[in-house]
Structure 1
Amino acid sequence: MTRLLLVEDDPTSCGFLHAAAAALPARVDIAGSVADARRLATHAPYDAWLIDAHLPDGSGVALLETLRAEGFRTPALAHTAAREPEALEALRAAGFALALSKPVSAAAWQASIRQITGAAGARPDAPSAPPGAKAGLVWNTASALRAVGGDAGNAAALRELFLGELPGTRDAVVRAAGAGESDAVRQAVHRLRAGCGFVGAERMDAAAADLHAAPHSSDALHAFLAAVETTLAQR
């Protein structure tokens, strides 16, 4: 059976990506940090590493560079909340065989894993799901269902997981903004945006994108907090 290492710190993203990869079928180990990923990658053989570009203790690029310097040649796929073509190209230039934007459909995720592992049924990169509209819905149910292959139960479970994490993310953003720590604000909202895509939280995603672009803006922060409250209220 294919053995994969999934490196992802966002619970919503991790839940979806793990389930989709396991359905290949595959054995999927999970690491939530650079340190955990390095420990697992250097002590067990994997057919592929599936590495988030932004992690709590470093970057996916730095992790891959370290593992390559230690002699490991396992195929690696990068996944990121960034959607700009240049961001994806930079990840490929850094040595990742593929780079995908989240949210990504289960079919595209599985096809990409097959592609880098050489498994039967591989096909060229499938496009990731489109980002939500700027003035989008609070919940785009159709988008969420597309992401999970039409499984309404899975979509509902991911939404509850997302909602459970949202207050903690809000509080982390408020603390970082109050301390003037723009990098911490960006890290928190970048992580949030991946989850937004998987559950169809379009309005939350748009507000998070604005705050990521202007972490010192009080208007962007207020809009972000308003989007959090609206999202939590419309469960």
Structure 2
Amino acid sequence: MPMELGMKPRFLLVEDDPPTRVYLREIAATLPAIVDVASNCAQAARMARKRRYDLWLFDANLPDGSGAGLYQQLLADPEIGANAPVAIAHTAEIDMGYLDKLCACGFKEVVRKPVTPAGWLGALRRGLGRQANSLEELEEWDDDHAIRALGDFANVDKLRTLFVSELPDMQQKARAAVSAGDDTALRDVLHRLKASCALVGARRLLESVRTLSADRTCPAAYAALDDAFEVTLSTFRTTGSA
């Protein structure tokens, strides 16, 4: 049976590394949610047969098999497959071909390790069909989107570094435009930001730009943009570092 209104969703998290298992479980529990854990395919299969879950969260590589193999095994089970929940994979693998294969197996999303709290919660919400409650709940950087747009890590790192180097100047121009009531200048800054944020995967800044673009007279929207500038600068990382 699907989750009833007002009840916490229940997840099956399959992860063999104990510290990572605790880390992912504790973050997921803040959603809030009930999180059952398994450390291998056999244990996970037994649990999936006993209980209905709202999400399956499978590590791609497990001691007795793979997340993809476990997912396909459960889908083929006549008692489980017909009512299988959304499945999300997590992996440290960086090869895009491998990640694409996981998606082709039926995983709704693949979350790359190291996993940030915002990134993990965002994936869980999307799996449940929910939206983030606020800009503050968005992960600042969307590496997967940037890699798809730019082709490889080297291009993402180079353009993201250039993008961040220009942000202080863009922030000052936005502040000056708002202070002077210069709507034309503000619109120009937002237009430039929108294109570059989308390209390099600056997710939170992009959403704040879109919000302010919809109403350039809104003080709260401008304050959110200014905050997003600061957070984006402080959390800057290339695809190869945390």
Question: Under a length normalisation based on structure 1, what TM-score does the superposition of the two structures give?
Answer: 0.52
What does residue 120 of structure 2 align with?
Answer: 109
Residue 127 in structure 1 maps to residue 142 in structure 2: yes
Q: Which amino acid aligns with 1:7?
A: V
2:132–2:138: 8 Å Cα contact kept in structure 1?
no
Unaligned segments of structure 2, at least 5 residues: 1-7, 145-239
Structure 1 residues 63 and 84, CA, compared in 2 at 3 Å: closer, same or farther? same
What does residue 175 of structure 2 align with?
Answer: none
Please tell me whether Structure 1 or Structure 2 has the larger radius of gyration of its CA atoms: 2
Q: Percent identity?
A: 42
How many angstroms does 1:74 deviate by?
1.0
Distance, in Å, in 1 between the alignment partners of 2:35 and 2:143 is 21
Distance, in Å, in 1 between the alignment partners of 2:66 and 2:125 is 24
Give the 3-state SS of the residue equivalent to 1:87 in structure 2. helix
What does residue 8 of structure 1 align with?
Answer: 15
Distance, in Å, in 1 between the alignment partners of 2:53 and 2:38 is 13
1:103–1:128: 8 Å Cα contact kept in structure 2?
no
Residue 80 in structure 1 maps to residue 107 in structure 2: no
Structure 1 residues 16 and 67, CA, compared in 2 at 3 Å: closer, same or farther? same
Q: Which amino acid aligns with 2:124?
A: I
If asked which structure has higher relative contact order (CA below 8 Å, sep 6+), I would say: 1
2:58–2:90: 8 Å Cα contact kept in structure 1?
yes
What does residue 54 of structure 2 align with?
Answer: 47
Distance, in Å, in 2 between the alignment partners of 1:94 and 1:63 is 11
1:8–1:55: 8 Å Cα contact kept in structure 2?
yes
Distance, in Å, in 1 between the alignment partners of 2:138 and 2:104 is 18
2:61–2:91: 8 Å Cα contact kept in structure 1?
yes
Aligned length: 134
Residue 65 in structure 1 maps to residue 72 in structure 2: yes
Distance, in Å, in 1 between the alignment partners of 2:66 and 2:122 is 24
Distance, in Å, in 2 between the alignment partners of 1:63 and 1:81 is 18
Q: What does 1:77-226 align with in structure 2 at a 5 Å threshold?
A: 77-121=88-132, 127=142
How many angstroms does 1:15 deviate by?
1.5
Unaligned segments of structure 1, at least 5 residues: 130-204, 206-235
How many angstroms does 1:117 deviate by?
1.1
Distance, in Å, in 2 between the alignment partners of 1:109 and 1:78 is 11
Distance, in Å, in 1 between the alignment partners of 2:42 and 2:143 is 28
2:54–2:86: 8 Å Cα contact kept in structure 1?
yes
Q: Which amino acid aligns with 1:104?
A: V
Distance, in Å, in 1 between the alignment partners of 2:95 and 2:138 is 19
Distance, in Å, in 1 between the alignment partners of 2:31 and 2:131 is 11
Query: How well do the aligned residues superpose, as a CA RMSD in angstroms?
Result: 3.0
Distance, in Å, in 1 between the alignment partners of 2:86 and 2:138 is 16
What does residue 167 of structure 1 align with?
Answer: none
